[in-house]
Amino acid sequence: MTPMHLRLLGRLIEFGRFAAANRKQRGQGKPETFDFLGFTHICTTTCKGKSFTIKRKTMAKRLCRKLKEVKQTLLRRRHVAIPEFGKWLRSVVQGFMNYHAVPGNFASIKAFRTQVARHWFRALRRRGQRDNLLWSRFRHVVDHWLPKGRILHLVSC
């Protein structure tokens, strides 16, 4: 059997179940990754066995762009009340999870939620000259308003 070849942006890459073995035999290293539909697709094996799987991670560019957008909105509208911002941030985090919560991508989901909480905390601390908001108190606000990271899309066997 031959590995699957994908044509991406005018070039052909070797990707699939046998791509790693064939490239290793030729001395070329690991198969290339590619970005498609907001995910970086990676050839890998499962942790329990040696069966082939495709790992999908959120594209770094997309994650950074969304975090930058959230940060700018928070800094621009930091005077808004916590419940109003909590509702908006819940919808942002839930929307991100609705699309990106696939098996193998938990680290990106967790990182997104953590960074959103961090940006929110910093925006709230910049609201006035009395800087008495502590992370230990703010963590309860985050747990109340932001959904926990979890995998929403399950793989059917």
C-alpha dist (Å) from residue 69 to 3, 80, 89: 39, 17, 12
Whether 32 contacts 44, CB under 8 Å: no
Domain range annotation of the chain = 4-58, 60-145
Query: Tokens at residue 70, please?
Result: 């959230």
Predicted local confidence at residue 20, as pLDDT: 66
Predicted local confidence at residue 157, as pLDDT: 43
Predicted local confidence at residue 62, as pLDDT: 93
Task: Give the amino acid at 133.
Answer: L
pLDDT tens for each residue of the chain, 157 residues long: 445 555 555 666 666 666 666 767 777 767 777 788 888 887 777 777 677 777 889 999 999 999 999 999 999 998 899 999 999 999 999 999 999 998 888 999 999 999 999 999 999 988 877 777 889 999 999 999 999 988 877 764 4
Predicted local confidence at residue 155, as pLDDT: 63
Distance between CA 39 and CA 67 in Å, rounded?
A: 16
